[in-house]
């Protein structure tokens, strides 16, 4: 009730925001957290705390202070205002990236904290380009743009306690700036401006992933969240030729030595430092046949862990390419296990490569969205808030 009054007050104060005016705050470099970056002006104007930037300058963090070389002593915050086509940030572990809009830079423990405020629709074009980079079909790009827009607005409070809306990693949605936005991603965002996926007149939780492997998974088998009627397992096209079977890496195979598996299980605290993994099995599976619970046998006992935890644990330990999904069979040998699987990603909601496959068959983006989110309806965000 309190929330409703607050919302009404906001609407009264400012009027309903149109999609064009919505802004989103994104934490940049959320994974690498660099201590210093070089700012290089591009084909646009850059103001550093209201002073124009003419040449590349180093931005660095020291303790809780941040400085831009040549722009006075270090302080608590630096504000960059980048207009036109943007300015480049480079250094750290990532390649140079083009950013625009307002960048508010502070420092935490000698690491830069960079929050970029950009119009929602420009962010959606950037996310669509990054998330659907390998696809080719316009209708697949449009489906991705609508899913990304809906996800952003649904989870706009994901990181609000830390002062921003979304981080730039796949924890929220991959956003690598404005340097390489594919024209079809921009066109997809423009032509679907303001459009979102709704369920019972509310924003839907539009999770998406790369390749489902033939069948998406009911969300509750993957995460312990409240059941959503539109996040249920769906068959992704004909059994023999799923829509996403066109994807490179649809099938995968990984061999892990027992020694490596033991090391990983110990580091994740699934087993004690004195135990060794001797066998690995799948105990139960979800609707799509994704592994839900795994069992490790050691000298002393059997240990059960969730397949999602295993998937994330391996991702952290060996990189995301080692085990690409939980849709796998395990073949346990004496010294190693072989995992043979299909698909890439968590398997919930829209399958990006399936969207590409559907688009190649002539389906339109709204058909694609209702295929992956059954029972949902596409609407304009402004028709929802009124
Ligand atoms: Zn995040
Ligand atoms: Zn699929």
Calculate mean pLDDT across residues 334-350.
94
276's CB contacts (< 8 A; 6+ apart) are 258, 262, 298, 299
How does residue 1 score in pLDDT terms, banded at 50, 70 and 90?
very low
Which two three-digit tokens encode residue 93? 């572990």
Q: Which residue is it, tokens 């990006």?
A: 352
Q: Quote the ligand 1 centre to 115 CA distance (angstroms).
A: 13
pLDDT in tens, 173-199: 999 999 888 999 999 999 999 999 999
Ligand nearest to the CA of 235: 2
194's CB contacts (< 8 A; 6+ apart) are 18, 19, 20, 121, 149, 380, 381, 382
Q: Quote the ligand 1 centre to 171 CA distance (angstroms).
A: 4
Give the per-residue pLDDT at 224.
Answer: 87
Helix 258-267 and helix 307-318: axis angle, to 10°? Answer: 100
Burial class (CB in 10 A: 0-12, 13-18, 19+), 379: middle
- Is pLDDT of 363 > 80? yes
CA atoms within 13 A on the CB side of 187: 9
Give the per-residue pLDDT at 258.
Answer: 93
Task: Compute the CA torsion angle 239, 243, 249, 253 (nearest 10 deg).
Answer: -20
- Is pLDDT of 8 > 80? no
CA atoms within 13 A on the CB side of 206: 33
Ligand nearest to the CA of 215: 2
Give the per-residue pLDDT at 266.
Answer: 93
E runs forming strands in 4-64: 23-28, 36-41, 46-48, 51-52, 57-62
Give the per-residue pLDDT at 316.
Answer: 76
Calculate mean pLDDT across residues 76-85.
94
The least confident of 8-22, 151-165, 288-302 is 8-22
Q: Quote the ligand 2 centre to 358 CA distance (angstroms).
A: 10
Give the per-residue pLDDT at 205.
Answer: 97
Calculate mean pLDDT across residues 307-327.
83
For the chain, the average pLDDT equals: 90
Q: Quote the ligand 1 centre to 51 CA distance (angstroms).
A: 32
Q: DSSP secondary structure string, 344-373?
A: BS---SEEHHHHHHHHHTT--HHHHHHHHS
The Cα 33–Cα 374 span in angstroms is 39
Q: Quote the ligand 1 centre to 301 CA distance (angstroms).
A: 37
Ligand nearest to the CA of 173: 1
Nearest to 154 by CA among 366, 373, 357: 373
Q: Quote the ligand 2 centre to 244 CA distance (angstroms).
A: 4
Q: Quote the ligand 2 centre to 342 CA distance (angstroms).
A: 10
- Is pLDDT of 117 > 90? yes
CB atoms within 10 A of CB 312: 15
How does residue 236 score in pLDDT terms, banded at 50, 70 and 90?
very high
Ligand nearest to the CA of 170: 1
Q: Quote the ligand 1 centre to 196 CA distance (angstroms).
A: 20
Q: Quote the ligand 2 centre to 243 CA distance (angstroms).
A: 6
In this prediction, what percent of the chain has a pLDDT beyond 90?
A: 80
Are the beta carbons of 185 and 147 closer than 8 angstroms? no
Q: Quote the ligand 1 centre to 116 CA distance (angstroms).
A: 14
Q: How far is CA 201 from the centre of its chain?
A: 24
Q: What is the 3-state secondary structure (H, E, C) of 273-340?
A: CCCCCCEEEEEEECCCCCEEEEEEECCCCEEEEEHHHHHHHHHHHHCCCCCCCCCEEEEECCCEEEEE
- Is pLDDT of 283 > 50? yes
Helix 138-154 and helix 352-360: axis angle, to 10°? Answer: 150
Give the per-residue pLDDT at 3.
Answer: 37
The Cα 28–Cα 49 span in angstroms is 19
Calculate mean pLDDT across residues 114-140.
93
Q: Quote the ligand 2 centre to 222 CA distance (angstroms).
A: 16
Domain regions of the chain by residue span: 22-162, 194-247+346-381, 251-342
Give the per-residue pLDDT at 298.
Answer: 95
Q: Quote the ligand 1 centre to 164 CA distance (angstroms).
A: 10
Coil, helix or strand for 192? coil
The Cα 158–Cα 164 span in angstroms is 8
Give the per-residue pLDDT at 385.
Answer: 62
Give the per-residue pLDDT at 321.
Answer: 75
Q: Quote the ligand 1 centre to 166 CA distance (angstroms).
A: 5
The Cα 223–Cα 271 span in angstroms is 22
Give the per-residue pLDDT at 320.
Answer: 64
What stretch of H or E contains 140?
helix 138-154
């Amino acid at each position: 009730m309190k929330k409703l009054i607050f919302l009404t007050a906001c609407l009264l104060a400012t009027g309903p925001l149109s999609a064009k005016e919505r802004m989103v705050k994104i934490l940049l470099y959320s994974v690498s957290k660099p201590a210093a970056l070089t700012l290089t002006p591009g084909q646009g104007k850059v103001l550093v705390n209201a002073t124009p930037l003419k040449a590349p300058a180093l931005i660095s963090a020291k303790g809780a202070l941040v400085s831009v070389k040549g722009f006075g002593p270090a302080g608590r915050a630096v504000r960059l205002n980048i207009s036109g086509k943007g300015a480049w940030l480079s250094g750290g572990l990532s390649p140079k990236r083009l950013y625009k809009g307002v960048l508010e830079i502070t420092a935490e423990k000698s690491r830069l904290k960079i929050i970029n405020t950009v119009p929602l629709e420009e962010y959606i074009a950037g996310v669509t380009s990054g998330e659907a980079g390998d696809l080719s079909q316009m209708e697949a790009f449009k489906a991705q743009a609508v899913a990304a827009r809906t996800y952003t607005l649904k989870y706009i409070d994901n990181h609000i306690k830390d002062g921003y809306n979304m981080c730039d990693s796949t924890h929220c949605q991959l956003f690598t700036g404005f340097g390489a936005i594919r024209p079809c991603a921009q066109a997809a965002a423009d032509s679907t401006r303001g459009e979102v996926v709704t369920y019972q007149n509310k924003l839907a939780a539009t999770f998406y992933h790369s390749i489902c492997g033939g069948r998406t998974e009911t969300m509750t088998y993957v995460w312990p969240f409240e059941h959503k009627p539109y996040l249920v397992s769906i068959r992704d096209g004909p059994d023999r030729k799923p829509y996403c079977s066109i994807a490179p890496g649809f099938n995968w195979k990984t061999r892990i030595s027992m020694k490596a598996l033991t090391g990983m299980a110990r580091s994740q605290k699934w087993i004690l430092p004195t135990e060794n993994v001797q066998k690995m099995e799948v105990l139960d599976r979800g609707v799509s046949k994704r592994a839900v619970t795994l069992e490790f046998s050691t000298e002393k006992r059997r240990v059960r862990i969730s397949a999602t935890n295993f998937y994330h644990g391996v991702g952290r330990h060996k990189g995301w390419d080692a085990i690409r999904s939980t849709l796998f069979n395990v073949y346990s040998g004496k010294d190693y296990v072989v995992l043979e699987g299909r698909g890439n990603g968590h398997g919930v909601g829209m399958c990006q490569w399936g969207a590409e496959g559907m688009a190649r068959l002539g389906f339109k983006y709204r058909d694609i969205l209702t295929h992956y989110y059954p029972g949902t309806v596409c609407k304009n965000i402004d028709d929802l808030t009124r």
